Amino acid sequence: MKALAFSNNDIALVAWTYDRHLDGCLGFAIFRQDLTAGTEQALPAMARFAGFEDQKDATTEDAPIQKFWWKDLYVRRGSQVRYRIVPMGGTPGQLQPLKDAEPLLSNSVAVTADRGIFEAYFNRGIVATQAVTRALGDKANGNLLLKRVADPHDSVRIALEGELFKGVTSLLDQADRTAGAEIFSALYELNDPRGLEVRLQAHDHGDPKIRNVVLGNERGKKNGVEVDDADSDNRHNLHAAGVNVTDRILPDGSIPHNKFMVLEENGKPTKVLTGSTNWTSTGLATQTNNTLIIKSPLVAARYKEYWTSVKHFSELGADAPKKLQDPAFRQANREANAKAIANPMTLEDGSAHIEVLFSPNTEDLLQTPPKEIPNDMARLYELVGAAKHAVLFLAFDPGNNSILDAAGNALRNNPNLFVRGALTSTVRAANFAEALHAGSGDEQPGKAGFNVGVIGEDGGVKKAKGKVGAAPDYRAIPADAIDDAFGRWEKEIYKVGFAIIHNKVVVIDPFSDECVVITGSHNLGYRASHNNDENMVIVHGHRPLAEAYACHVLDLYDHYAYRYWLKKYPDTFGKPLSEKDDWQERYIKDSEEKSPELRFWLAATASAG
């Protein structure tokens, strides 16, 4: 018998097993013990038994969990918690703890971003939820949601962004309270006039002159007209506030996609912030994102070198656009990447090794078929292909020759791998299925036979000729929503804007000493390496960080997997709770035979504290 809890800054998760079928068990009541507050509380229930569909405020004592793992989405941030799992029997409405099965007690976990030399922040960011629909009321729609999240004090925005605003602005806050500090940042989108822009402009407090920003351009519509710089008004406001702004306006086909920030103290880089989060209200609240702070002068110095190079070529290219991604810039990134891969940095506290890779790093823009294999993507393929236990990932729309192909190939070569991923693009989800079933041809990327669609951050897709997409495989699913009301469920908002899942994350073997976390701005595909300004950070051997990212990936996967299966098999997945104990057979038969998800979580025994 065992129960294991995991956490990040946003959620906690608990998995458990009795290593046998529990006769008469209709599910589990789960109690959260908040060790900080000294309280115990039954978790709220989501499903209901037949005849109890209208039961309000039911807990898992009333409607027990018919699974062997569960997410606690209501856990208090900053708390230290553990979980008591109680098998329940009897009949609906008259449930009692089973007499012949002792309750389980998990290890305790802290719900915090703190991961030693790292801080990892994740938002809630999912708009396709019953909570969002009900919070918006009868007129729930995307336009109303956009209005709500534009206000930093709105309850819907606060719930969706979680601690992400705090994470994204933390280095700014530290710079503002530290004498001799300065910020060096490269950003892509900027559109949160009442929130993030206030902080970046130092309008509320701080000194705009200590902020140095290379601000890229986002293509889009302004007053109904396609423009090269959709955020031009916000750019003007940043200049007007006195921030040291370097404009970086890349031509069509490339995007200045970085979202990082370096903190210098007394002229020396000390920390760096990276991740997938754009400085927009939607980046904070209506799409899923992550922010990673690395408290390492070594890593911060490498980012500062790249920032200086980006600024230099931005100034050269102000009147000569071809200079913006000059061959010298590309070559410098390619050579620096090769050194980083060959000799990863050891972090100052000895807790991990790290590779920092930058784009563009090829000789030229992406062609069809690709003429070059980017060294950062070759490294990603190598690491994913070497996975022993698990590959988890989140992506927006990586294009072809991407993490989808790498993960599909890895699973095809090692059927025992636990592979789970979720992404925004339905089109790209098919790439995983094709690679898994050998439909994409070559195992290695970049060879003839791969077609490359032209994919930009705006989500537009140019369909590759002659390629018929396979149906998505359940291990790599596109985001979806409940599109029609049924039972207790209401219709959900599918998305707001282009992105739903905006993370760029890969987690490999998270419960191993050889675990790997890959994140940054890089969209995890060939196009990003060829055409865009990007950064990718690869962290080796830091299990607390890997577990935090694993929680986030599988939180999102679990959310969208239910909607995937519900749409595919509505009669099965739309049913009430079972009134028999045979529901267990989906998850466990004996001590050796368990579902893949349960085996995955229980493999963490050695690392649970």
Give the pLDDT of residue 590.
65
Give the model confidence (pLDDT) of 530-582 as tens digits: 999 999 999 999 999 999 999 999 999 999 999 999 988 888 888 999 999 99
Report, as an integer, the average pLDDT of 388-413: 96
- Model confidence at 468, in pLDDT bands (50, 70, 90)? very low
Kindly state the tokens that stand for 370. 């690709």
Closest CA relative to residue 336, chosen from 354, 314, 358, 304: 358
Does 446 score more than 60 pLDDT?
A: no
Mean of all residue pLDDT scores within the chain: 92
DSSP string, 238-286: HHHTT-EEEEE-PPTT--B---EEEEEETTEEEEEEEES--EEHHHHHT
Q: What domains can you pick out in the chain, each with its CATH number?
A: 1-111 (2.60.40.10), 113-437+467-560 (3.30.870.10)
pLDDT of residue 593: 67
3-state SS class at 148: helix
49 falls in which pLDDT band (50, 70, 90)?
very high
**pLDDT tens digits, one per residue of 403-413:** 999 999 999 99
Nearest CA among 329, 230, 210 for reference residue 278 = 230
Sheet-wide strand order for 353-359: 345-346, 353-359, 534-540, 516-520, 505-508, 390-395, 418-423, 476-478
pLDDT given for residue 592 in this prediction: 64
Residue 477's pLDDT band, with cuts at 50, 70 and 90, is very high
Mean pLDDT value of segment 485-502: 90
Considering only CA atoms, give the Rg of the chain. Answer: 24
Residue 461 has pLDDT above 60, yes or no: no
pLDDT at 146: 97
- Does residue 451 register a pLDDT over 60? no
Residue 283 has pLDDT above 90, yes or no: yes
- Tell me: pLDDT of 452 over 70: no
Is pLDDT at 154 greater than 90 in this prediction? yes
Q: Is 395 left (phi over 0), alpha (psi -120 to 50) or beta?
A: beta
Residue 397, pLDDT score: 95
Residue 4 exposure: Cα atoms within 13 Å on the Cβ side: 18
Question: Strand, coil or helix: what is 419?
Answer: strand
Structure tokens at 35: 């060790």
Say if residue 450's pLDDT is above 80: no
What is the pLDDT at residue 388? Answer: 97
Q: Give the distance, in angstroms, between the CA of residue 95 and the centroid of all CA atoms in the same chain.
A: 38
Q: pLDDT band for 198, please (50, 70, 90 cuts).
A: very high
Query: Is the model's pLDDT at 444 over the cut of 70?
Result: no
- For residues 188 and 259, the answer to whether their CB atoms sit within 8 Å is yes
Q: What is the pTM of this model?
A: 0.93
Determine the angle formed by the axes of helices 297-316 and 327-342, rounding to 10 degrees. Answer: 170
CB burial string 121-156: b at 16+ within 10 A, e below: bbbbbbbbbeebbebbeeebeeeebeebbbebebeb
Pairwise pLDDT comparison (430 vs 289), residue with the higher score: 289
Q: Give 311-342 pLDDT, tens digit per residue.
A: 999 999 999 999 999 999 999 999 999 999 99
Cα distances (Å, whole numbers) of residue 325 to 255, 313, 318: 11, 7, 12
Cis peptide before 360 (omega within 30 of 0): yes
3-state secondary structure of 508: strand
With tokens 């300004």, the residue in question is 533
**In terms of Cα–Cα distance, which of 243, 299, 295, 264 is closest to 179?**
264
pLDDT of residue 455: 25
Residue 459 has pLDDT above 60, yes or no: no
The model's pLDDT over 511-530, given as tens digits with 9 standing for 90+, comes to 999 999 999 999 999 999 99
pLDDT value at position 465?
A: 37
